[in-house]
Chains A and B, each alone.
Chain A
């Protein structure tokens, strides 16, 4: 299961596909202080990445995948991307 959603933490492992984007987004909406663990994640579908960028959860496990670590992680780190509206 690429996306494992528990009460406060979403754990993304392996390849996160477009189908995972919807439950993830719903969870991000409903969770008060969402945290995301990306340690075992090897790929994030654009839809999932978007959702994370829009919601701005705290990343508690940086990804070990080289591409995600080097270029995608910074996108998820605070402060949010200049053009984004604040989450709350």
Chain B
């Protein structure tokens, strides 16, 4: 598996983990004592941190590490989970989500990741370490949190280290931790060598063992150690009370490693580490010795922040080191496989030459260089060059097991990069399939449906044109078989596309919580029927309308707690989203127990917006008044808070739902609440249509809209107020001449009968007069595109089995056209 798909796997799993975290955090806010949920959220954060480590995304790791520590502190009872804490955690994970999107698109974190991480980490760590002063605010707009009582002892924060010439006095903890004897020893060495060095103070978190950290392992990887101290941060408790799982040890190390090397080594725990540059003069000050002018000059001029082991090289050696460093970069850069071998071999040659210039060579060097181009060659050569750059010293830190065929390179943060962090042996019961693949499947199924529909025509052709009746019959039989299989296949693919509504519902708890908080309203969300499934296209369409409806409820429907209390309602409002499956449709209700919709208010607003005239207003009943909200232009931005109604409104909801063949019903009881009922078909892809002949042409009508078909004597048609009607079983059905409406104007053969397609649109039945009825068909209706897109009368076209194209009528438009005509 390539690195690329490992990243994709991580991204997809991270998305799931983030969803889990969101749900968990909201659950915890309601019930902080729920241990299982807390553990689950902690584990998810931990997994995120661990997996992110594979991909060199240090700010991500750092941020998730901070969330993990905070959650761990909550688990241990050291920190209380307040609304504020949850806010911070949610904010952090939101940032993570955003970063992962950027990584998916660009392969790296955004450029401001460091600042954003720093700000969030400060907020997350503040409750955990109240005694530690939180560093000053970092990036713009990211307020630092005032920490607890400051530490006047002046432990310098990480930002105090790299300075220009004239290093500040060495940190005071160096003397405390190492003792005067060691500090003097180091000072004397630095004075003699005319150089500076780095000091590290590593104070691991007490709970670090539980997150898999081993501080000793980390410090054992510090190269070029000159002084070392490990000390307990409190007095050792008596053995009887000693808790072996609580990390009390801290470490102070003097090293010639560069700041960069140390940063890299400690990149996963930067908040627990302080690194400072020191020189002989700084140590002298620390020891209280007088600093002679020449001391300071020597120190400042001598080495300063040299790269590891710089001890006044002559030009050749300096050049050789540059060459070595260049090889390091070369070897570290990613390269396509084809080039890799060549690159390593050429790097090895350059290394050999550079080492020879430095007077280093010999069989052990050759042995390593010979590995170039082989599987472990890169790491081996890189290691050799790093060692050489650090300077001549006994190869002390190559303890057993650090190198070896396929061995772990512990220098790289102690993780074996070749071992995938992901557990692939998970039983494989669920497949993650790309949506594109499923769409393709459906496309193919559609083509199969159309193709198989050609067989009956062939059969007919065989019988009538070729006089081969037996052949015709066998074709029909075979068609039966293929038909059955293709119907099963169709159903199976449609099943694959079925998604549970929980996909859409998932975001609502968070939405309701955030909006409720910002509006100062107490709202509880109830979700029912999350497992109800519908086609993915339908689900996708539902997302925006549902969000709008929920926001509407929160914004306009639900009253503020005081208002509710005054009205005798419970202070906490309830918004319910309920989904129920019917044979051919899914019904979704969005219900709130708010103030309901006042018909008078709606009427006034519609009037003010010029959407309705005074006279029309007077004729409206209550329900019709409420439904004025669906008129385009009813909602505009200025009337509504920033949350809802960005120029969309109920009109957009209605349009979206109707586009998939659904309906919207609004009902309300003033003072008690409102309900919006969405009814959408289970699937959009394949429709059954009824084919009719009109003026010599064929058209399709969705079967859902057909109430019945009747053929009656023409005498049954009567006229009422300039309108042809048919009386059917006590119902008066107005008739529409479809040929006239479609402006096809052909004569109809008058055989004394009339064929009527009785359709139901909304609440009323309308009869369409056609020439003849044909069979029903299952087709895939494709929307009109291009030149025909403007034809309102048709909602799409379908390819028939015989290759002809069927125009499918849009009933609503047809009827609208008919009214105009009449």
Chain A residues proximal to chain B, CB less than 8 Å: 18, 21-22, 24-25, 28-29, 42-47, 49-51, 53-55, 65-67, 70-72, 75, 81, 83-85, 87
Contacts and interface: CB of A to CB of B under 8 A. Distances in A.
A24 to B, nearest CB: 8
Q: Which of the four size classes fits the interface of chain B?
A: 20 to 34
Contact of A42 (B237, B247, B401): B401
Nearest to A56: B236
Given A47-B209, A49-B249, A54-B239, A70 B244 contact: no
B232 A29 contact: no
Contacts of B396: 66-67, 70
Query: Is chain B's interface secondary structure helix, strand, loop, or mixed overall?
Result: loop
11 contacts: A42-B399, A45-B214, A46-B214, A46-B249, A50-B244, A51-B242, A53-B236, A54-B242, A72-B216, A83-B232, A85-B236
Contacts of A54: 232, 236-237, 239, 242
B466 interface: no
Interface of B: 204, 209, 214-217, 220, 225, 228, 230-232, 234-240, 242, 244-245, 247-249, 396-397, 399-401
Contacts of A22: 244-245
A58 B239 CA distance: 16
Contact of A53 (B204, B215, B238, B249): B249
Nearest to B216: A46
A53 B232 contact: yes
A39 to B, nearest CB: 13
A46 B232 contact: no
Given A45-B217, A46-B204, 7 more contacts: A28-B239, A42-B399, A43-B220, A47-B244, A66-B399, A83-B232, A83-B235
Contact of B242 (A25, A42, A81): A25
Contacts of B397: 66-67
A50 B248 contact: yes
Contacts of A65: 399-400
Given A18-B209, A46-B249, A55-B239, A83 B244 contact: no
B239 A21 contact: no
A54 B401 CA distance: 29
Nearest to A50: B249
A21 B400 CA distance: 22
Contacts of B236: 53-54, 83-85
Nearest to B227: A71
A21 B244 contact: yes
A50 B240 contact: no
B400 A42 contact: yes
Contacts of B237: 54, 85
B249 A29 contact: no
Contacts of A28: 239
Contacts of B217: 43, 45-46
A43 to B, nearest CB: 7
Contacts of B399: 42-43, 65-67
Contact of A45 (B216, B239, B242, B400): B216
Nearest to B240: A29
Nearest to B234: A83
Contacts of B247: 46-47, 50
Nearest to B228: A71
Contacts of A18: 209, 214, 245
A29 B239 contact: yes
Contacts of A83: 231-232, 234-236
Nearest to B236: A54
A85 B248 CA distance: 14
Contacts of A67: 220, 396-397, 399
A81 B231 contact: yes
A53 B216 CA distance: 13
Given A29-B240, A85-B238, A46 B215 contact: yes
Contacts of B215: 46
Nearest to A40: B400
Nearest to A28: B239
A65 B217 CA distance: 13
A79 B156 CA distance: 31
Contact of B232 (A47, A50, A72, A87): A50
A81 B228 CA distance: 13
Closest 9 pairs (CB-CB, A-B): A54-B236, A71-B228, A46-B216, A25-B244, A21-B244, A66-B396, A84-B236, A46-B215, A67-B220
Contacts of B239: 25, 28-29, 54-55, 87
A17 to B, nearest CB: 8
Contacts of A43: 216-217, 220, 399
Nearest to B402: A42
A30 to B, nearest CB: 10
Given A44-B216, A47-B209, A53-B232, A71 B244 contact: no
For A22, A24, A44, A50, the residue with the greatest tally of chain B CB atoms inside 10 Å of its CB is A50
B246 to A, nearest CB: 8
Contacts of A46: 204, 209, 214-217, 247, 249
A24 B550 CA distance: 59
Contacts of A81: 231-232
Contacts of A42: 399-401
A84 B238 CA distance: 10
B226 to A, nearest CB: 11
Contacts of B245: 18, 21-22, 47
A66 B394 CA distance: 10
Nearest to A17: B214
Nearest to A15: B401
